[in-house]
């Protein structure tokens, strides 16, 4: 099944239907990153997006096992969206960019923004020990807030053991409700991965600690701080933190978890507490809201310039990637860099990235997970959205 793709009044391909473009949410231009110049690839004007290529990437993801896939591209006032496949295997309902979904680790940007706002308010110092604010929580007073937000604390990721067997691990925690401290204790039962401030080592434990910091410093639940500081000011109509509720409100895409055994039937994983992740991965949103959020963040509307600069102090985090404070930078094949996060929660893969100034943003979803081929192919949505059409190869003489 195919739903409409919208491109400012122009058909992308014969199979696509054109509708009226929707005004994108405005974002202010952010300054260049420290050390960048106007000649840098990441700072130059972006190529025209390849919306046909975006469509092709989504169809590829479907062929590789996702029941449905969708994407929304906001670009300087124009909105393009594409969706293919189904949101619900039971009813056969077509997936749509109006569907809400679980965004997994994209939640980490929300948590980081709240803490950076608290730094702006002088309630938090990034280079202060976590134990200053949460006495006795961690076994090492050298672990700072910055180390936690940049995955350089050395705190073991408890989800490694929790989901060593994908489906049984999920079913064991689907309806459980954990406290933050219980999750941290799971981490502390294992050796640390690096010294404080050492190499990047991704761990959900870090952003569980971030949630604890938010609640201690504000006296409010994470839900309240997300709502008051981000969701309400940006008018994010589809964004919620419902922990420990299990249902996604309103129209939504169902999520399908891929078992470890090849060929095994997908498992409907839509309803769950996501208590195993909380402030590390439990937010629900939509492609529209994610683009609005990233545009606002990179456009300088959610933190001061100083804190946005702190968020973009990068450390190596893998091939063609760097990590800041809850924010990832990916380097694409054309030399362009994009800023955001990926999210993987049972049944959902999310890509949410924007240009340096926030004026072009892309949110894409495949409603499956534990399928590495699908996850890797989702990168094609970024290439099409920010690099445009691939250069044609010259024919040999």
Active-site choice (3, 105, 286, 369):
105
Q: Please say if 286 is a catalytic residue.
A: no
| 8 Å CB contact between 83 and 94 | yes
Residue 75 buriedness (CB in 10 A; 0-12 / 13-18 / 19+):
buried
Any idea what the Cα angle at residue 196 is, between residues 190 and 199, rounded to 5°? 90
d(CA 224, CA 216): 13
| 8 Å CB contact between 297 and 116 | no
Residues marked active site are found at 105
């Amino acid at each position: 099944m195919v739903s409409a793709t919208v491109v400012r009044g122009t058909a992308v391909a014969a199979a696509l239907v054109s509708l009226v473009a929707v005004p994108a949410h405005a974002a202010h231009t952010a300054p260049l990153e420290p050390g960048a110049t106007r000649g840098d690839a990441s700072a130059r004007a972006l190529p025209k997006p390849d919306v046909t290529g975006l469509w092709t990437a989504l169809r590829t993801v479907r062929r590789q096992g996702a029941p449905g896939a969708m994407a929304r591209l906001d670009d300087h006032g124009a909105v393009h969206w594409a969706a293919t496949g189904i949101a619900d295997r039971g009813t056969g309902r077509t997936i749509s960019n109006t569907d809400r979904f679980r965004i997994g680790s994209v939640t980490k940007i929300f948590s980081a923004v709240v803490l950076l706002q608290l730094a702006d308010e002088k309630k938090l110092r990034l280079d202060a020990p976590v134990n200053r604010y949460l006495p006795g929580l961690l076994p090492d007073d050298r672990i700072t807030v910055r180390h936690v937000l940049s995955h350089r604390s050395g705190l073991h990721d408890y989800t490694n053991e929790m989901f060593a067997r994908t489906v049984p691990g999920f079913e064991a925690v689907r309806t459980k409700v954990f406290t933050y401290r219980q999750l941290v204790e799971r981490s502390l039962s294992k050796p640390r991965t690096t010294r404080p401030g050492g190499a990047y080592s991704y761990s959900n434990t870090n952003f569980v600690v971030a949630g604890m910091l938010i609640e201690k410093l504000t006296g409010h639940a994470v839900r309240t701080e997300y709502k008051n500081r981000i969701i309400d000011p940006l008018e994010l109509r589809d964004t919620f933190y419902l922990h420990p509720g299990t249902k996604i409100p309103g129209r939504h895409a169902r999520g399908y978890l891929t078992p470890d055994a090849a060929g095994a039937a997908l498992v409907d994983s839509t309803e769950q507490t996501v208590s195993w992740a909380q402030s590390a991965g439990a937010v629900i949103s939509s492609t529209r809201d994610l683009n609005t959020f990233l545009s606002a963040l990179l456009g300088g509307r959610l933190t001061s310039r100083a804190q946005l600069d702190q968020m973009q102090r990068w450390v190596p985090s893998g091939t063609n990637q760097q990590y800041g404070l809850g924010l990832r930078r990916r380097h694409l094949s054309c030399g362009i860099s994009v800023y955001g996060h990926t999210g993987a929660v049972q049944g959902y893969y999310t890509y949410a990235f924007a240009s340096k100034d926030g004026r072009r943003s892309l949110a894409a979803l495949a409603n499956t997970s534990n399928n590495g081929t699908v996850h890797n192919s989702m990168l094609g949505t970024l290439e099409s959205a920010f690099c445009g059409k691939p250069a044609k190869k010259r024919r040999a003489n």
